[in-house]
Amino acid sequence: MLRLTSTLLRRCSVFEKISKGELPARVVYEDEQCQVIHDISPVSPVHLLVYPRKKIARLSTAEEGDHPLLGHLLGVAAKTAKAQGLEGYRVVINVGEDGGQTIDHLHLHVVGGRKQCWPPG
């Protein structure tokens, strides 16, 4: 019988695979804490995903020690939006299934390039 180790049982998120170079992506920005890529299913002319290299499943599971990283992600979102020429844009974090989260790894959507409507959902 095959014995599964915790490493085999741990599923890597698509973002972890991109960070490791195991999956292709159009990388816009990266540093030691995070990466920014183009979304493969954009909802606006510009649709970026900002995610930490550290796997945090969702915003609601982030710990107090993660707060500096969360601030860094917001700063990177603003910096990359500006680099893409966006003056107005929306930053969205989906949390949980009811919130529309489909990848179990915290990520910020930066969407712009057209007027954003309200309400968003």
Active-site positions read 107
Residue 101 makes CB contacts below 8 A (sequence gap 6+) with 58, 94, 95
Beta bridge mates, 36: 29, 50
